[in-house]
Structure 1
Amino acid sequence: MTSIHRHDTDKELVTKLRQDDEAALSEIYERYWDRLFVVAANRLGDPQEAEECVQDVLYKLWRLRETLHIENDDLSGYLAVSIRNQVFNRRLKRHRERLRVAEYETTDAGHPSPELVLIAKELQKRIDRAINNLPTQCRIVFELSRQEGKTVKQVADQLAISENTVKYHLKKANRDIRESLDLSVWLAVIYYFFQK
């Protein structure tokens, strides 16, 4: 059966998707399924998991269609980032399950496994990027409080601003960082870095 949107551009498909057009989602599925699957399968090495990742990405695309923000309506770029994030989350989940089964055993006399080190590095890179993207004042407040361990009062005194302003910046920083990371990544961040 020929899709009614076969000749539409990606930008037109995004517009129609936002208008609850299920046929637009079907066309996106037809157009992008294979390449999303190849990316996921290459990184996961498991066709079934790769298929689930692609399904999750497309389901999320449909579920968030009304509030969807795609930079310059670049559907291809959006889907590429989405599938990479989905694969990362799947690998993180896989690793956490292994840790649970192994009761958090470590290799080489207490050294973390290479996979855990890789995940921790990737998480740290994402956190650093999110912090660097904060507005300047907000970033400074966050770094003084969270990275140098200063109290709200100490930060306020050092920067000559009110304690309420410090609290506002901390709230905004936490919200912006959370929003820039997928929920599962944020939970992993809390687990790996703040539960030590």
Structure 2
Amino acid sequence: MRQYKLYQDRELVELMRNGDEQVMMEIYDRYWKRMLAVAYKRLDNQQDAEECVQDVLYNLWKLRENFGLEKLALSNYLSRAIRNQSFNILEKRYRIRLKAEGYKQEAVNYLSPERALILKELQAKIDNAISELPPQCQLVFRLSRQEGLSAKEIAEKLNLSENTVKSHLKKANRDIQGNLDLITALILSYLFFQK
């Protein structure tokens, strides 16, 4: 049995390129704490930092066949990968916050109490329509609409094909729209005649 702790990083990378899964455990043991510290410093959230490190290690494994260290040490590569993944997470957070702030601001500035109540009822209907979706379809829809993930990101996260994700999103949109057609027509009629 190999003693991976004795191997240099370049040797580990070569073994990893040949598909040796135990190498990932050694890389994990060697660099987990350091990677987590870097991610936490940037993200200021333990759960996001852990997810960031897992994503980097997962991507390293996915790229293993073409991965090589020329001049860069593995620890430096992992630090850069954590930095880049952290930026991706921060950008996603920012987009979600902007979406949420834009929605709230519009609702606060332009809705009368009656319209706010109607909007609240419509949101309850939407939430109910979402909860009636099949579990997998519901999960895909929530990841897309509430977390802002792309079809490709959802496919990777749930280990599904991108086409399956797109099918789930299409079904979710169709089912939710079908459930809301009547209530939307009633609300629009009410708003129109209240002017």
Shift of residue 105, structure 1, vs aligned partner: 8.7
Amino acid at match of 2:45: D
Amino acid at match of 2:37: V
Alpha-carbon distance change, 81 to 18 in structure 1, aligned in 2, over 3 angstroms: same
Q: Which residue is equivalent to 1:160?
A: none
Identity, in percent, stands at 48
Q: Which residue is equivalent to 1:64?
A: 63
Q: Which residue is equivalent to 1:99?
A: 98
- Scaled by the length of structure 2, what TM-score is found? 0.51
Q: Which residue is equivalent to 2:81?
A: 82
Is 1:48 the counterpart of 2:54? The answer is no
Amino acid at match of 2:27: I
Q: Secondary structure at the match of 2:24?
A: helix
Larger radius of gyration: 2
2:10–2:69 Cα contact (<8 Å) kept:
no
CA distance in 1, matches of 2:101, 2:2: 49
Shift of residue 80, structure 1, vs aligned partner: 0.9
Q: Which residue is equivalent to 1:24?
A: 23
Shift of residue 71, structure 1, vs aligned partner: 3.0
Instruction: Give the gaps of 5 or more residues in structure 2.
Output: 106-151, 154-195
Alpha-carbon distance change, 65 to 105 in structure 1, aligned in 2, over 3 angstroms: same
1:3–1:27 Cα contact (<8 Å) kept:
no
For 1:87-166, list aligned pairs within 5 A: 87-103=86-102
Instruction: Give the gaps of 5 or more residues in structure 1.
Output: 107-182, 185-196
Q: CA-to-partner distance for each residue in 1:44-90, whole Å, 9 max, x for gaps?
A: 11000000000000000001100114333521111011000011110
1:40–1:84 Cα contact (<8 Å) kept:
yes
CA distance in 1, matches of 2:71, 2:103: 44
Q: Which residue is equivalent to 1:111?
A: none
Alpha-carbon distance change, 12 to 73 in structure 1, aligned in 2, over 3 angstroms: farther
Select the structure that is richer in helix: 2
2:13–2:68 Cα contact (<8 Å) kept:
no
2:40–2:49 Cα contact (<8 Å) kept:
yes
- Scaled by the length of structure 1, what TM-score is found? 0.50
| Runs of 4+ residues deviating >3 angstroms | none
Amino acid at match of 1:21: D
Shift of residue 42, structure 1, vs aligned partner: 1.1
2:53–2:82 Cα contact (<8 Å) kept:
yes
CA distance in 1, matches of 2:100, 2:77: 35
CA distance in 1, matches of 2:96, 2:25: 34
Amino acid at match of 2:18: Q
How many residues are aligned here?
A: 107
Q: Secondary structure at the match of 1:20?
A: coil
Shift of residue 4, structure 1, vs aligned partner: 2.6
Shift of residue 103, structure 1, vs aligned partner: 1.7
CA distance in 2, matches of 1:95, 1:30: 32
CA distance in 1, matches of 2:64, 2:96: 31
Q: Which residue is equivalent to 2:133?
A: none
Q: Secondary structure at the match of 1:71?
A: coil
Alpha-carbon distance change, 3 to 36 in structure 1, aligned in 2, over 3 angstroms: farther
